[in-house]
């Protein structure tokens, strides 16, 4: 059987995770990693993003590993002219507009693009739709953490006098317990998650001011109970170098005469980027299988039967998994 030939665009945490995940899937092979850096400095197997068009006949699916802010909105519509693509675009408010652009480009060029894959958006979205569909009367809750939020860590790093920082998002036990008990309450932002920050300050920096700037930062921290701990750079490197994450999607619902039903999906991730990469890689398989069946345009994980994620045939899946 021919292997699915994969290309990677972008070689940060996500791209490196995809490179590792491909090695775990024997039906795939990595053809090339495309980067904006000098490919020679990275060794064999790399080429410039601007040379990707030379590989049109050698790559079945391009896994797009750039950032949602500036990379993906430009790169994906352009790559979708040449390749089937998978990406993890996660700027929620812009997804409909992004979808339209990628859909047009992919459709016009007979390619298939999976947008906004990963775990949220992605596996969590899939579970929210599934749960709401099975139990139409009820409430669905999403909790994130315990895990490192890169966006929030970056926001702290931009504060004057901060050398480095890590921010953990932590679900509030009391709220989680209430949801699991089927109480179906409404929670404020503050009641659902707390934020825990580890900050390395510059020598002589005003820690009191830094702490206040963090706690009062709109959108990022001001709606949460936030704890700020100042630590040394050594402590940060020793104790907070990982990128763990995870979370919960829980639906509490009622059937019949007020019968309580509960569905829950959980992730506990040692590495957020490596897990997201693993999702992208099984989406690359899905895009390949669905394109073979004739599908083109843009889709999300909501549009993919789970059998498409698997290397097994429909017969094997029915016999082993049903």
The stretches of the chain forming alpha helices (DSSP H) are 13-23, 71-79, 95-108, 123-134, 150-157, 173-180, 189-192, 207-215, 233-239, 272-292, 314-321
Rounded to the nearest 10 degrees, the angle between the axes of helix 95-108 and helix 71-79 is 20
Token match 């429909």: residue? 314
Given 164, 191, 225, 264, the residue binding a second copy (CB under 8 A): 264
> Binding string, 137-176, against a second copy, x = CB under 8 A?
x---------------------------------------
Rounded to the nearest 10 degrees, the angle between the axes of helix 13-23 and helix 272-292 is 60
Token match 């069946």: residue? 293
Please, what is the end-to-end C-alpha distance for the chain in angstroms? 25
Smallest separation (angstroms) from a second copy to the CB of 5: 18
Contacts of a second copy in 197-256 (CB under 8 A): 246, 255-256
Smallest separation (angstroms) from a second copy to the CB of 62: 20
**177 touches a second copy by CB under 8 A:** no
Residues 242 and 156: their CA atoms lie apart, in Å, by 17
Of the two residues 150 and 227, which places its CB atom closer to a second copy in the complex?
A: 150
Given 269, 284, 289, 291, the residue binding a second copy (CB under 8 A): 269
Q: Are 251 and 262 in contact (CB under 8 A)?
A: yes
Residues 132 and 251: their CA atoms lie apart, in Å, by 7
Interacting span for a second copy (CB under 8 A) from 42-50, 75-83, 128-136, 144-152: 128-136
Query: How many residues lie near a second copy (CB under 8 A)?
Result: 64
Q: What is the DSSP string of 123-159?
A: HHHHHHHHHHHH-SSEEEEEEE-SEE-HHHHHHHHTS
Distances (CA, A) of 281 to 2, 53, 140, 197, 301: 17, 21, 28, 32, 13
DSSP 242: -
> Binding string, 26-65, against a second copy, x = CB under 8 A?
----------------------------------------
Smallest separation (angstroms) from a second copy to the CB of 102: 12
Q: SS3 of 26, please?
A: coil
Interacting span for a second copy (CB under 8 A) from 47-55, 68-76, 106-114, 272-280: 272-280
**261 touches a second copy by CB under 8 A:** yes
23: Cβ–Cβ under 8 A, 6 or more apart, which residues? none
Contacts of a second copy in 273-312 (CB under 8 A): 274-275, 277-279, 282, 285, 300, 302-307, 309-311
Smallest separation (angstroms) from a second copy to the CB of 131: 10
Contacts of a second copy in 58-117 (CB under 8 A): 92, 95-96, 99, 116
Smallest separation (angstroms) from a second copy to the CB of 80: 17
DSSP 104: H
Residues in contact with a second copy by the rule CB under 8 A: 17, 20-21, 24-25, 92, 95-96, 99, 116, 121, 123, 125-126, 128-130, 132-137, 246, 255-257, 259-271, 274-275, 277-279, 282, 285, 300, 302-307, 309-311, 314-315, 317-319, 321-322
């Amino acid at each position: 059987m021919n292997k699915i030939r994969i290309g990677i665009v972008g070689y940060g945490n996500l791209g490196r995770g995809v490179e590792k995940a491909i090695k775990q899937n024997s039906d795939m092979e990595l053809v090339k990693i495309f980067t904006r850096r000098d490919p020679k400095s990275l060794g064999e197997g790399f080429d410039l993003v601007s040379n990707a068009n030379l590989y049109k006949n050698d790559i079945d699916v391009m896994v797009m590993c750039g950032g949602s802010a500036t990379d993906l909105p430009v790169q994906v519509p352009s790559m979708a002219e040449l390749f089937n693509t998978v990406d993890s675009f996660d700027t929620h408010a812009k997804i409909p507009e992004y979808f339209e652009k990628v859909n047009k480009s992919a459709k016009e060029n007979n390619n298939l693009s999976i947008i906004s894959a990963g775990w949220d958006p992605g596996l969590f979205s899939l579970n929210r739709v599934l749960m709401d569909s099975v139990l139409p009367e009820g409430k669905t809750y999403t909790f994130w953490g315990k895990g490192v939020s890169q966006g929030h860590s970056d926001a702290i790093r931009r504060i004057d006098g901060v050398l480095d920082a890590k921010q953990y998002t932590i679900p509030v036990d009391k709220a989680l317990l209430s949801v699991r008990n089927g109480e179906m309450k409404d929670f404020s932002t503050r009641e659902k998650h707390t934020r825990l920050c580890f900050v390395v300050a510059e020598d002589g920096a005003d820690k009191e001011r830094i702490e206040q700037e963090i706690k009062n930062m709109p959108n990022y921290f001001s709606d949460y109970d936030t704890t700020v701990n100042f630590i040394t750079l050594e402590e940060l490197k020793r104790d907070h170098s990982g990128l763990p994450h995870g979370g919960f999607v829980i639906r509490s619902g009622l059937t019949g005469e007020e019968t309580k039903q509960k569905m829950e999906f959980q992730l506990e991730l040692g590495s957020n980027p490596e897990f997201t990469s693993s999702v992208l890689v099984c989406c690359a398989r899905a895009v390949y299988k669905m394109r073979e069946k004739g599908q083109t345009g843009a889709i999300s994980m909501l549009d993919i039967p789970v059998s498409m994620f698997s290397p097994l045939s429909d017969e094997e899946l029915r016999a082993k998994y049903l």
